[in-house]
Chain A
Amino acid sequence: MIPPRVLPLARYQLALLLRSQCWVAPVVLYAALVVGGAAGGQELGDSLAWAGAALIPVTAWVSRLVVTAESTAERAVVAAVVGPRRVQATALAVALLFAAVLGAAGVVFEYFASVKPPPGAPRSAGSVLLQGVIVVVICLLAGSAAGAVSAPPLVHGRGPGLAALAAVVLAWLVMPLSPANAAIRSQYTAAPDPTFALLAPVIGVLVLTVLAWTTSLVCVGRGRA
């Protein structure tokens, strides 16, 4: 299922990320947001929505880091072997996986740090957890899309890249039409059927993420080195 040479490529890109120690800053940010947000006494659903919201900028940031980990020359060396699109797709996937591990850690932390619904409550702890995980996954994808559109080949340079990243992340979080915003809100407001309320955000975030990745892959390898 995985095309040839993608695993060694992913291993190389992950090694680049880990060895460069650039990952420390987004991980610390995520830990600070998740741990700092858990002042005590929150309900599990709210906490998971918070952990998801925090994951959007962190995933976007990590995506930019992996995509821009090498200079253009070193990237071209790898692109000659496997093709520029595969390099770009693998980089985005490596970032997504890295952020997914962070997200999973966030979910585990919130599960133990938050107040779970008492037995006999209208929604069981299990269903709240499931919905929370769906929200976290939506935010993970939203962050990946934000990273893809604020990194080369769509945005070049650190300054414009970070500005675009901030703008897109903000849009995901606060725009009422944003699937991530809708998913997070559904956790805080008492929707009649929360699982159903998540259907539209799931579809929306999938469409937008596929669109962002595709645009990035279509444009890669076109520009000046």
Chain B
Amino acid sequence: MRLRRVGKRFRRADNWVLRDVDARLEPGRLVRVDGANGSGKSTLLRVIAGTTRPDRGRVHGRPPTAYVPERFPGDLPFTPADYLAHMGRIHGLSTARAVERAGELLELFGAHGYARTPMRALSKGTSQKVAVAQALLAEPGLLVLDEAWTGLDPPSRAILDSAVRERVVHGGTVVFVDHDALRLADTVDTTLLVRDGQVTRVPPSIELLVHGPRRVSVPASLVRIDVDLGMAADVASTPMPPALVTALRSMPGVRDVCPRPDGHVNGYRVDVDPDVCADVLRALLADPATRIRRVAEEEPGT
């Protein structure tokens, strides 16, 4: 599907929330939308989902769509089972199939115990599970998720992650916003940045680092990670590197771990082969006190 010169503003006197947005969303792609709070991410998602119509420009070729809004109050006089059956029929399923899919999804998200509880009595998290489940009922060609992970428990987040991957593998387009920069970072194909009404494709830094050369045209021969390793203030003066440095040095594909030339007391520079970059970053991020300063592709010897 395509967005052509899409513009959106909510009042005539207002600035354009989106201006001249051109974007192509291909089947089988996972698209992340980034931007500051209030930058228009949610508006872009609603325009893509078709729930908000643009004031200028057009959206072409939208496939069958499912949408999970940013907040889903679930303030409806139904039980989750009834609501999902209705939504399944609206998504084009037969009643029998809708009821079956509703049961499967509630079971999957561990919410089958609430299938007959009035939606108004559900917790925020369980409401969110219902909102996510309705979007997965009918295997949509376009799935739009506006912070759909927020409020879900960790197992449900993982289930949603794998549901998204499955959609993408089966040729669906998935567009999402999430505050977690690492969300599905290994699967994201495109990152769109919304800023000042403009939408730009950005080189997705996290995606690049996690995936290394698979995603760049010229394979980098080295990825350099500048990092501040977590150390308590009172031991910061100790010249001894923390245990993590030793651990890093022993990891395959790590070429060098040395103190950073800027002389920062707990700053280190880690040079790694691009194909182990993801593992090294994971190892670094496992320590919550670790701060990644910079990740860049370098030619060896620089």
CB within 8 Å of B: which residues of A?
A: 4-5, 8-9, 11-12, 15-16, 19-21, 70-71, 73-84, 221-225
Contact = CB atoms under 8 A, between A and B. Distances in A.
B87 to A, nearest CB: 7
A225 B53 CA distance: 11
B49 A76 contact: yes
Contacts, number: 89
B89 interface: yes
Nearest to B65: A80
Contacts of A16: 76-78
A8 B52 contact: no
A213 to B, nearest CB: 17
A6 B203 CA distance: 42
A12 B91 CA distance: 12
Contact of A15 (B42, B50, B78): B78
Q: Is the interface of B mostly helix, strand, loop or mixed?
A: loop
Nearest to B71: A73
Given A16-B76, A70-B76, A222-B55, A80 B89 contact: no
Contacts of B64: 81
Interface string B40-68: 00100010011111010000000011111
A11 B71 CA distance: 24
Nearest to B42: A225
B86 interface: yes
B interface, how many residues as a size bin?
A: 35 or more
A221 B86 contact: no
A225 B70 CA distance: 11
Nearest to A224: B10
A4 B92 CA distance: 8
Contacts of A71: 73, 75
B272 interface: no
A224 B55 CA distance: 12
Given A222-B52, A222-B53, A19 B90 contact: no
A221 B47 CA distance: 9
B66 A81 contact: yes
A224 B38 CA distance: 13
B125 interface: no
25 contacts: A12-B89, A12-B90, A16-B76, A19-B77, A21-B77, A71-B75, A74-B72, A74-B74, A76-B46, A76-B49, A76-B69, A77-B67, A77-B69, A77-B135, A79-B51, A80-B50, A80-B65, A81-B64, A81-B87, A84-B50, A84-B51, A222-B52, A223-B10, A225-B46, A225-B52
Contact of A77 (B10, B53, B72, B89): B72
Contact of B70 (A21, A70, A73, A224): A73
B33 interface: no
A82 B52 contact: no
Task: Identify the 3 closest CB pairs spanning chains A and B, nearest first.
Answer: A80-B67, A8-B89, A19-B77
A86 to B, nearest CB: 10
Contacts of B42: 225
A177 to B, nearest CB: 31
Nearest to B53: A221
